[in-house]
Chain A
Amino acid sequence: MKKILTILICFYSIALLGQKLDYANEFTYDMHRNLDYAGNGNIRQALDIYIPHNRVSEKLPVVVYIHGGGWARQSKDFAGRVMPFIRTGRYIGVAINYRLVDEATILEMVYDCKAAIRYLKANAKKYGIDKNKIGVWGHSAGGHLAAMIGLTSASKALEGDVGYYKKENGSVACAVDADGPTDFESLKSVEEEYKNSPLFKSFFNNDMEAVKLASPITHADGSCIPFFIYHGVKDKAVSVKQSEELYDKLTKKGAKEIYFLKITDGGHVFSDERITQQMLNFFDRYLHDDKSVVVDDSEFSLN
């Protein structure tokens, strides 16, 4: 009896902690690189698919990573960030490019991301993707885009018309927003520097309607999909207030599955295994529907 109890407790604590992360062991995956989701030969509108050889089933959920870089820099190519998830064999990883500020407005970037989601759905059979179980996550500018995709998941008006796969839609099952701007209006008033930046001008050119539309907070309501926010309290590039504002609005509107993890001494760019672990738990809970896995969003300190 005691033995059974011990086993039960063990199982229970595994469920609570989620599956452990593994970074060190040999691991094999297939890489499908530079897939053209917009169909016009622009590398900025391409994506990479990572498929683990230890896949646990023929149809797998997908974690889509959206890179940061102030909407002006970086690319999908250094997407080691999907590795912890695909290593479990329970996810296909995807890293996407989107057009940057030199050739697109901020809403067009959202449309690119949605076209990438539609591409994944249209090609779900080919890669063994469960098209109803796509989660997105991004950092900084990527966090903003992930938030936009997550919060406008059901919006037909913000679907855009990039690419060929118009029969699919850009909805996703859950989203993670890391250190992302959520409200351009308050960013504008709080941070003078931002207001005068050429980036901001080229995005909005004082068009307040556009500022509103491109702000995730505008789209926050009670019907929000499962949503995980994390933010470093010491973030100087994007204030933690941006995430607090979004979290408050979502909870006030009655959204249910919302998590907000603060890192007491976290700046804008850092990574920590504890965050990755909670993200994995979040994806396991909402993409694998494993409700025994608990997502712990209590604040912690890096040191």
Chain B
Amino acid sequence: MIYIKKLGILFLLALCSLTITGQEKVPQSTLPSIEYTVTTEINYAGNKDMAQTMDIYVPLHKKSEKLPVIVTIFGTNDLWGKGDKMWAGDSPFLSYLLDGNYACVKINYRLSTEAQWPAQLYDCKAAIRWIKANADRFGFDKNKIAVQGELAGGHLALMLGLTSNEKTMEGDIGNYLNEDSKINCVVSGFAPSNLEELGGKEVEVLLGGKIDDLLKKAQEASPISWVSNETQFPIYLYQGDAEEKVPMAQTDLLYNALKEAQFKDIYYQKITNGSKRNLQFDPKVSKSVSSAIEDFYKKHLLKQDIQIEVSELSVTPQQKK
């Protein structure tokens, strides 16, 4: 009897694995196909500036009615000086869309060549307020927003989190000033945390002058200045000692400050030999970072009881062809 039951199930499985197309029977593909809706070039500032636009990705097959949102802020080797949301790529969040648990957003901000600090932060905050105000239209859970980014994008993500109770840093961009720009958690890679110490041309362009003349502004633009026990949220940091644009010391500094302020859910993944650039050539290491980030979102956005792995990681030097 059990045997027959088993056979029946097998038969059913065989049937299910065939898609009937009207002409030929085609077996189910092993490729992970994904279906999602994209709304592109949404202007969150209520003007026509392409630097203040964003793209929204919502999976067609949602796991719940309201989805947590993962916001990506791009960052390039020119820090705040160059780039576009297009450059953030979409591979980092395809797996989130694939599992139907999240909506994803990629945002632009005005580059330092277009506007000086704190325009970039004001833009990011306006984007978050826009997301909250339009939560119903897209099916967002506006109380569950994560922000991720690398280099300048990581810096802005950290600033969003750390200044979320600072009215003076809110700005007045866009039409949704009734909303707040609070977010729930941050993932930041290779990000500047102390601009005074980082120095360099990019910082000067961002601030609009020599750092020595603009010390107060440099401090205001540094995540490290805003670390306070009263504004706590989960943070996942990753950084490599081969990163030349933003030295590892920048992240060490921030991590220590967060620990000192007794932040609870702080993870710091150090990568020996790692940099933003060479991480992409080591699929094994980049995979373990991205799956730790996935776990971070499962824990802090989906509230799953899960352990986040911080392990010894080392990038294998690239073989020259």
Contact = CB atoms under 8 A, between A and B. Distances in A.
Interface of A: 23-36, 39, 41-43, 46, 53, 77, 80, 83, 122-123, 125, 164-167
Given A25-B41, A41-B31, A31 B36 contact: yes
A166 B24 contact: yes
B33 A122 contact: no
B29 A39 contact: yes
A29 B38 CA distance: 5
A200 to B, nearest CB: 19
Interface residues on B, range: 20 to 34
Which has the most chain A C-beta neighbours within 10 Å: B31, B36, B42, B48? B31
Contact of A36 (B33, B42, B48, B86): B33
B39 A26 contact: yes
Contacts of A43: 31
B23 A167 contact: yes
Given A36-B29, A122-B23, A27 B35 contact: no
B60 A30 contact: yes
A127 B94 CA distance: 22
Interface of A: prevailing SS: mixed
A46 B35 CA distance: 14
A31 B33 contact: no
Contacts of A32: 33-35
Contacts of A83: 40
B13 interface: no
A29 B34 contact: no
Contacts of B34: 31-34
5 contacts: A25-B41, A30-B38, A36-B31, A46-B33, A165-B21
Interface string B1-39: 000000000000000000001111111011111111111
Given A25-B41, A28-B38, A122 B24 contact: yes
Contacts of B22: 122, 125
Given A39-B26, A166-B24, A33 B33 contact: yes
A224 B38 CA distance: 37
Given A27-B39, A34-B32, A35-B31, 12 more contacts: A26-B43, A28-B37, A29-B37, A30-B35, A31-B37, A32-B34, A39-B26, A77-B90, A122-B24, A125-B22, A164-B25, A167-B23
Contact of A167 (B24, B32, B40, B43): B24
Nearest to A29: B38
Contact of B31 (A24, A25, A26, A46): A46
A165 B26 CA distance: 9
B35 A26 contact: no
A60 to B, nearest CB: 17
Interface string B72-111: 0000000000000010001100100000000000000000
Contacts of A25: 41
Contacts of B33: 32-36, 46
B257 interface: no
A39 B86 CA distance: 30
A121 to B, nearest CB: 10
Nearest to B24: A164
B135 interface: no
A26 B32 contact: no
A289 to B, nearest CB: 27
A53 B37 CA distance: 9
B266 interface: no
A69 to B, nearest CB: 17
Contacts of A33: 33-36, 94
Nearest to A166: B24
B262 to A, nearest CB: 43
A166 B35 CA distance: 26
B105 to A, nearest CB: 14
Contacts of B31: 34-36, 41-43, 46
Contacts of A80: 86
B50 interface: yes
A200 B274 CA distance: 37
Nearest to A126: B21
A27 B56 CA distance: 10
